[in-house]
Structures are given as structure tokens and as C-alpha cells.
Amino acid sequence: MMQPVKRHKCVIAALLAVSSLLSPLALASETAICYNCPPEWADWATQLKEIAQDTGIHVPQDNKNSGQSLAQLVAEKGNPVADVVYYGVTFGIQAAKADVITDYKPAHWDDIPAGMKDPAGKWVALHTGTMGFMVNVDALGGLPVPQSWDDLLKPEYKGMIGYLDPASAFVGYVAAVAVNLAKGGDLHDFSPALAYFKKLAVNKPIVPKQTAYARLLSGEIPIMLDYDFNAYRAKYHDHANVAFVIPREGTVTVPYVISLVKHAPHTENGKKVIDYVLSDRGQAIWANAFLRPVRISAMLPEAKAHFLPESDYARAATVDYQQMADAQKVFSARYLSEIH
């Protein structure tokens, strides 16, 4: 019969063996809920894994888009579930107006450019994205890679083009803003964009509501209106024959931001998550995922080498994000009425 001491040693050894197999996520003892941090988008998968490993805070994956996240925050205003929320900047501005987020000035606050943060700390940028064409070259069947907004209207690209729903997903709205400015519109008049989408409808575009990264890689959607970072990730991480094009007529660059939810159930953990994604380590993770971090100093030269030349990025403009936010509901209503 095994002696008690030996039995205890065996049990301890077995427990240590099991614990060594557990992932950092399983070992994380604290929790913070983040709305809209899907693993396939902007490599949140790596970010969440590193947060768990370095802070002990487990942040579950969440596949909402920006619009869905804001709607959920408003619905839960009296009894919040989320601690932090990540979304496009216009949704951060709307969330501040809806009083569902609260002030927090994280570590490295002073390193962040004035235009990339709410003065009171309601939201702060993590990284930027530049809108363009993410193209699965192999799925084009020998057709040339489109170089302009007008190219997408050509009949040979029928059934090949996708864009996220502009009335719901922020990236879809950014695409609308980009083509609108390229076609002579402004943030007070979206008629050029709506006219463009009507013409594009002839080419039977695919319009999903959530990220379609996997569908682009598979070739189901050969051309996607999307950000530079998703295209670079496909090319350099997933080794797909993917090209990124900043259209000839121009495009826009926008920040993605994070906020602390008002009356969050795990406020301190939420603050730690925000601090982490703006730390040198967190910002380097964004850069390694082919995103331009808001703290450019954290972007190493080898990461910069994956981006298109600055001469291409010169065609990408910034806009008044407050105006962009103010215009979003009016645009969405018109899009749903005239296009959807």
C-alpha cells in the first residue's frame, strides 16, 4: 500500500504536470469583459493572450462589431456587463454622448497626439487603419488588381467585391466616407457615396455585417474594402497572395479607440487592460500585427518595412472625426433607405 507521504507527492506531481499544460488564459485569475475584440480582427487573439500572460487578466473573445457594441452598452446602461469597449472613433464619440463610458487617462497619456484622444479621457486611440482594397490576387482569375474606385465598377469584377455593412460596421462606414471624399463629397453631403454604391450594386457586391477576413483568404470574396493591417496580416502572417491598394483617387485614415465602461463591474481590471494595450509591449503587438500604433515610437523598423511606401500613404487623409461621428446616423439612414 502506498505511504501517505508518497501519495501526496504523486498528487502534487500530477497537479503540477496538469498546470504546466494549461494556457495563460486558463491560468488567468482575473476577468475583464471587452466588447468587440474578435480574434481575427487586428490580431486581438495575440493581444488577449499576452494580456492574460502578463497581467493575469482573462479577457474573453467577443465578435460584436462597433455598432453592435454601442447598442449593447446602451441596452445595459443600468446594469453594465462590459468593462472596456473597442470600436471605431465615431462610435467612441457617440458612446460619450450616450453617457455609457467614463473618463480614464491611462499610462502614456501624454505620449498620445491631441487628435487621437478625447480631452477628458472618454476614449483614446490604440492604432490607426487606412482604408483600401484588400485583394486575393489568386482569386481574380487573371484579372488585374484594381487600382481605383472606378475600377471596381467595371463589369469584369462582378460578384468579386465585398464590403462590410456601412449602416452597422464602422469599417463599412469608413469605406463610405473614403469613397465619398474621393468622389467630391464631404461630411455634410454623402450623395456621391450613395451614387457610387448604387453603381456598385450592379456588380452584385457581398455585404457581410462582421469581419470577412477568412472569406477573403478562401477566395470567396476576392476584393474586400478593408484596412491595410488586415491585408498585411494576410500577406506576411498567413502567407497568402494578397495585395493592398490605396486607391488612386484617395482614401482616409481613422483611429480605433478604447474606452472604460461607466460603472464597469471590473473597473480596475478594465483600467489595467487599457494601460496594457497602450504600453510599449501592447503597442509593439499592434505594430507586429501590421497596425500603425498611436505611439509611433513603439513601432520597430522591421514592422515599418511591411507597409506600403509613404508616397502611397500620402493619398490617405485624416478628417474631422467629430463631424464624421455626427454624420454617421444620417448617412446610415440614407444608406438603408436608398441602397440596402
Q: What is the pLDDT of residues 13-39, one digit of tens each?
A: 443 343 333 344 334 469 999 999 998
Residue 169 pLDDT class (50, 70, 90 cuts):
confident
**pLDDT of 149 higher than 70:** yes
Query: What is the number of alpha carbons within 13 Å of residue 13 lying toward its C-beta?
Result: 6
Query: What is the number of alpha carbons within 13 Å of residue 251 lying toward its C-beta?
Result: 27
In terms of domains, do 55 and 122 share one?
yes
Tell me, what's the pLDDT at 29?
A: 61
Residue 256 bridge partners (DSSP) = 88, 127
What's the rounded Cα separation, in Å, for the pair 325 and 95? Answer: 10
Tell me, what's the pLDDT at 113?
A: 85
Q: What single DSSP character describes residue 289?
A: T
**pTM for the predicted model, two decimal places:** 0.73
Helix (H, G, I), strand (E, B) or coil at 37: strand
Q: Are the CB atoms for 212 and 221 separated by under 8 Å?
A: yes
Mean pLDDT of 44-58: 96
Mean pLDDT of 256-265: 97
In terms of domains, do 118 and 258 share one?
yes
In terms of domains, do 124 and 202 share one?
no
Q: Regarding predicted confidence, which is higher, 270 or 208? A: 270
Q: Left if phi > 0, otherwise alpha if psi is -120 to 50, otherwise beta: which for 109?
A: alpha
Residue 331 bridge partners (DSSP) = none
**pLDDT of 41 higher than 60:** yes
Cα 26-233-22 angle, rounded to 5 deg: 10
Residue 203 bridge partners (DSSP) = none
**pLDDT of 1 higher than 90:** no
Lowest mean pLDDT among 27-31, 90-94, 171-175, 191-195: 27-31
Q: What's the domain range around 277?
A: 26-128+254-304
Residue 138 belongs to a domain: yes
In terms of domains, do 202 and 225 share one?
yes
Closest CA to 165 of 65, 35, 41: 65
Residue 1 belongs to a domain: no
What's the rounded Cα separation, in Å, for the pair 78 and 72? Answer: 11
In terms of domains, do 223 and 100 share one?
no
Residue 325 belongs to a domain: yes
**pLDDT of 264 higher than 50:** yes
Tell me, what's the pLDDT at 16?
A: 37
Domain count of the fold of the chain: 2
Residue 96 belongs to a domain: yes
**pLDDT of 281 higher than 70:** yes
In terms of domains, do 154 and 42 share one?
no
Closest CA to 44 of 264, 230, 220: 230
Tell me, what's the pLDDT at 96?
A: 97
**pLDDT of 120 higher than 80:** yes
Cα 176-179-181 angle, rounded to 5 deg: 105
Cell of 237: 502572417
Residue 11 belongs to a domain: no
In terms of domains, do 189 and 292 share one?
no
In terms of domains, do 247 and 258 share one?
no
Mean pLDDT of 58-86: 96
Residue with cell 471590473: 266
Tell me, what's the pLDDT at 42?
A: 81
Tell me, what's the pLDDT at 303?
A: 87
Q: What single DSSP character describes residue 114?
A: G
Cell of 159: 460578384
Tell me, what's the pLDDT at 21?
A: 36
In terms of domains, do 60 and 206 share one?
no
Mean pLDDT of 309-332: 90
CA separation (Å) from 170 to 69, 129, 229?
A: 11, 11, 15
In terms of domains, do 244 and 159 share one?
yes
Q: Are the CB atoms for 193 and 184 separated by under 8 Å?
A: no
Q: To which H or E segment does residue 132 belong? A: strand 124-136
**pLDDT of 6 higher than 50:** no
In terms of domains, do 213 and 286 share one?
no
Residue 21 belongs to a domain: no
Tell me, what's the pLDDT at 27?
A: 40
Tell me, what's the pLDDT at 168?
A: 85
Beta-carbon neighbour count of residue 147 at 10 Å? 14
Q: What is the CATH number of the domain that holds 176?
A: 3.40.190.10
In terms of domains, do 228 and 294 share one?
no
Tell me, what's the pLDDT at 5?
A: 43
Closest CA to 88 of 35, 33, 20, 50: 35
Q: Are the CB atoms for 274 and 84 separated by under 8 Å?
A: yes
- Sign, Cα dihedral of 326, 97, 170, 75: negative
Mean pLDDT of 167-191: 94
Strand ranges (E), 185-239: 223-227
**pLDDT of 99 higher than 50:** yes
Residue 3 belongs to a domain: no
Q: What single DSSP character describes residue 168?
A: T
CA separation (Å) from 282 to 6, 121, 252, 268?
A: 45, 19, 25, 18
Residue 102 pLDDT class (50, 70, 90 cuts):
very high
Residue 32 belongs to a domain: yes
Q: Regarding predicted confidence, which is higher, 2 or 81? A: 81
